[in-house]
Amino acid sequence: MELKDFSYFLPDELIAQHPCPKRDRSRLLFLDKKKEKMADLSFFQLPDFLQSGDALVINDSRVIPARLFGKKPTGGILEILLLTKRKSEKESQTWEVLLRPAKRLRENDVIALGNNCEAKVLARISNKKWLLEFFAPDGFEAYLNQFGRAPLPPYIKRKKTAGQDVTDRERYQTIYAKNPGSIAAPTAGLHFSADVLQTLQAKGIQIAPITLHVGYGTFLPIEVNEVEKHVMEAEYYEISTKSSQVINNARRLIAVGTTSTRTLESVADNDGYVQAKSGFTNFFIYPGYKFKRVNGLLTNFHLPQSSLFLLVCAFAGTDLIKKAYLHAVENRYLFYSYGDCMLII
pLDDT at 90: 58
- Which DSSP string corresponds to 173-215? S-TT--EEEESS--GGGGG--HHHHHHHHHTT-EEEEEEE---
pLDDT at 189: 98
Beta-bridge mates of residue 79: 69, 100
The count of residues in the chain is 345
Q: Is the pLDDT of residue 56 over 90?
A: yes
Neighbours of 90 (CB within 10 A): 8
The per-residue pLDDT for range 156-180, each reduced to its tens digit, is 988 766 556 778 999 999 999 999 9
CATH homologous superfamily of domain 3-63+169-344?
Answer: QueA-like (3.40.1780.10)
The per-residue pLDDT for range 60-96, each reduced to its tens digit, is 999 999 999 999 998 899 999 999 888 764 567 999 9
DSSP-derived pairing of the beta strands 94-100 and 253-256: unpaired
Cite the residue boundaries of each domain of the chain with CATH code 3.40.1780.10: 3-63+169-344
Peptide bond into 101 cis (omega under 30): yes
pLDDT at 85: 87
pLDDT at 104: 83
Segment 187-193 mean pLDDT:
98
Cite the residue boundaries of each domain of the chain with CATH code 2.40.10.240: 67-147
Name the DSSP letter for residue 233: P
- Give the HSE-up count for residue 103: Cα atoms under 13 Å, Cβ half-sphere: 4
Q: Which amino acid is at 342?
A: M
* pTM over the 0.95 mark: no
The per-residue pLDDT for range 265-290, each reduced to its tens digit, is 999 999 999 999 999 999 999 999 99
The CATH architecture one would assign to domain 67-147 is Beta Barrel (2.40)
Round the average pLDDT of the chain to a whole number and report it: 94
